[in-house]
Amino acid sequence: MSGNTITLHRVIKAPPERVYRAFIEPEALVKWYPPYGFTCRVLRMDARVGGGYKMAFTNFSSGKSHSFAGTFLELVPNSLIRLNDQFDDPNLPGLMQVTIRLKPVLIGTELTIEQSGVPEAIPAEFCYAGWQESLQLLALLTEQEVSD
């Protein structure tokens, strides 16, 4: 597989169940997944093995969007999400593989993400910066204990 590989690690002060849900529930994804300066639309979500999804990120300043879609390859609740995805833009070719591992730790969840096959046209440092912003937003969403 050609392209860049991005590996991320973070400890989130939230239980694995909550972090897992944030990756598969559309209402949660739109709150944390797009990096700063972008909005997200979940156009389709079927969170089951063999099911698919389609999303679009829109640059809030310019209004320009890019969409991507993929398939869930493996789902182990509260522990593992493995999927593929690719951009709809032909200038960003290739199938990316994403593996998300969740491990319970004393203060919450150890999160490890590997994204391989990132198109060569996207500099790796852009991916790292975007993911770091998204993971900050993920922490803000999942670490809050809000009473009803």
pLDDT the model gives residue 148: 75
- CA–CA gap between residue 120 and residue 51 (Å, rounded): 27
**Domain assignment of residue 41, yes or no:** no
**Domain assignment of residue 28, yes or no:** yes
**Domain assignment of residue 121, yes or no:** yes
Handedness of CA 48, 130, 41, 146 (dihedral sign): positive
pLDDT the model gives residue 39: 97
**Domain assignment of residue 18, yes or no:** yes
pLDDT the model gives residue 56: 97
Specify the CATH number for the domain of residue 91: 3.30.530.20
**Domain assignment of residue 59, yes or no:** no
pLDDT the model gives residue 134: 97
| Range(s) of the domain holding residue 96 | 4-36+74-142
**Domain assignment of residue 81, yes or no:** yes
Q: 3-state DSSP call for residue 69? A: strand
pLDDT tens for the chain, 148 residues long, are 568 999 999 999 999 999 999 999 999 999 999 999 999 999 999 999 999 999 999 999 999 999 999 999 999 999 999 999 999 999 899 999 999 999 999 999 999 999 999 999 999 999 999 999 999 999 999 999 878 7
With beta carbons less than 8 A apart as the criterion, state whether 136 and 22 touch: no
Beta-carbon contacts of 88 under 8 Å, excluding residues fewer than 6 positions away, are: 66, 67, 68, 69
Domain count of the fold of the chain: 1
| Ordered strands of the 65-76 beta sheet | 4-12, 108-118, 96-105, 80-87, 65-76, 52-59, 38-45
- CA–CA gap between residue 34 and residue 120 (Å, rounded): 20
Phi, psi (rounded to 5 degrees) for 69: -145, 160
**Domain assignment of residue 78, yes or no:** yes
**Domain assignment of residue 63, yes or no:** no
With beta carbons less than 8 A apart as the criterion, state whether 113 and 19 touch: no
pLDDT the model gives residue 3: 83
